[in-house]
Amino acid sequence: MITTVQQHILQQQQEISEASGRFSWLLSGITLATKMVEAKIRTAGLNDALGAFGQTNVQGEQQQKLDVYANLALLHCLGLRDSVAALVSEEDEEPVTFDRSVETGKYIIVFDPLDGSSNIDVNVNVGTIFSVLRRLPASEGDLQASILQPGHAQVAAGYVVYGPSTVLVYTTGHGAHAFTLDPTIGAYVLTNENMRMPEQGSYYSVNESNAATWPKEYREYIDQLRSGALGRQYSSRYIGSLVADFHRTLLKGGVFLYPPTLEQPAGKLRLMYEANPLAFIAEQAGGMASSGKGRILDIKPEGIHQRTPLIVGSKREMEALLHGGSQ
């Protein structure tokens, strides 16, 4: 018997206080949007969906046609859910808010609609990343305060990687679970329950072209991995799509790094819709995630597009970097 992602949420209702019918309906908006994006990507070369859109987004990055499509799909599918109070996208300067009461509009969805889209023209894996926050009671702050919560306040997070198969990984704080899209029935089907990241891997993933501008400790750390100081020889694997690099790290272990550089001392990756959801998943799978100065999930955001360094991976590799542990 198969188990779909919606069925999985319903089965966990005894453990997950968030898994009400309303919450399941909310997640179905995410899965619907990602199936729309997956279908568009599959035929992108046939329907003029590849290439630049002709505008830059709030990040100063060239928008791709599929960036725009993915963003609109998520805004549409989630905006129709009456439990949504606000939608925060990488592509939009300000949150999209809805005039819904605290009792009705209980959730804020933060998302990167199409991570790695600069790779889409060369048929490299891309993905969607999302994070779900619960709206604070009126007595604890306004909608802006609800949006700018630290990562440990997430009630759910996940990503979809569009590759040879389309895979959804999500957590509600009760383990990390993977579902593969079965195109014959149009549903995400459970393929890996309670995923565990290996305690030590054999790969490191980083853009080494930036190495000359990293802080010294990161250069020394990569040298340590190469030298076998952690008891094994590491190989370099770097795709350049965050979701794809993280997905490999989750399955195979090792470490993914995007350190600060001279040009971007505060880091490049976005805290709220890239680092936080992936850190939540990593911790649920037994891994760790840090900014290099502390736990990613403890950072209090100051803005929706705040950037951060990100180091995420297996315990052995993470402890070697953060605490200088070696064999």
- Supply the CATH number for residue 182's domain: 3.30.540.10
The pLDDT mean for the chain works out to 91
Does residue 231 form part of some domain? yes
Residue 58 CA to residue 63 CA, distance in Å, equals 10
Does residue 198 form part of some domain? no
Residue 61 CA to residue 187 CA, distance in Å, equals 33
Mark whether 123 and 52 lie in a shared domain.
yes
Which tokens go with 185? 């029935």
Q: By three-state DSSP, how is residue 215 classified?
A: coil
- CATH number, position 316: 3.40.190.80
Q: Give yes or no for a contact between 109 and 134, defined as CB atoms under 8 angstroms apart.
A: no
Does residue 197 form part of some domain? no
Mark whether 275 and 251 lie in a shared domain.
yes
Mark whether 210 and 292 lie in a shared domain.
yes
Residue 279 CA to residue 152 CA, distance in Å, equals 9
pLDDT of residue 85 exceeding 90, the answer is yes
pLDDT of residue 326 exceeding 60, the answer is no
pLDDT digits (tens, 9 = 90+) for 18-37: 556 788 889 999 999 999 99
Residue 108 CA to residue 97 CA, distance in Å, equals 9
Mark whether 216 and 69 lie in a shared domain.
no
Q: Give yes or no for a contact between 38 and 166, defined as CB atoms under 8 angstroms apart.
A: yes
Please identify, among 164, 192, 220, the residue that sits at the C-terminal boundary of a domain: 192
Mark whether 184 and 90 lie in a shared domain.
yes
Residue 25 CA to residue 32 CA, distance in Å, equals 11
Mark whether 117 and 51 lie in a shared domain.
yes
Mark whether 162 and 214 lie in a shared domain.
no
Mark whether 146 and 244 lie in a shared domain.
no
Strand partners, 235: 203
pLDDT of residue 88 exceeding 60, the answer is yes
Task: Name the band, by pLDDT with cuts 50, 70 and 90, for residue 46.
Answer: low
Q: Which residue has the higher pLDDT, 72 or 324?
A: 72
Does residue 208 form part of some domain? yes
Q: Give yes or no for a contact between 97 and 86, defined as CB atoms under 8 angstroms apart.
A: yes
Q: What is the pLDDT of residue 119?
A: 81
Look at the chain and report how many structural domains it folds into.
2
Q: What is the pLDDT of residue 114?
A: 95
Q: What is the pLDDT of residue 62?
A: 60
- What value does the mean pLDDT take over residues 296-315? 97
Q: Give yes or no for a contact between 281 and 151, defined as CB atoms under 8 angstroms apart.
A: no
Mark whether 20 and 88 lie in a shared domain.
yes
Q: Give yes or no for a contact between 312 and 278, defined as CB atoms under 8 angstroms apart.
A: yes
311: closest CA among 191, 190, 188, 225? 225
pLDDT digits (tens, 9 = 90+) for 155-182: 999 999 999 999 999 999 999 999 999 9
Mark whether 34 and 169 lie in a shared domain.
yes
Please identify, among 153, 168, 192, the residue that sits at the C-terminal boundary of a domain: 192
- What DSSP designation does 222 have? H
pTM of structure:
0.93
- What value does the mean pLDDT take over residues 199-209? 97
Could you tell me what percent of the chain has a pLDDT over 90? 77
Mark whether 219 and 172 lie in a shared domain.
no
Q: Give yes or no for a contact between 260 and 219, defined as CB atoms under 8 angstroms apart.
A: no
Mark whether 220 and 182 lie in a shared domain.
no
| Domain around 247 | 203-323
Please identify, among 173, 192, 211, the residue that sits at the C-terminal boundary of a domain: 192
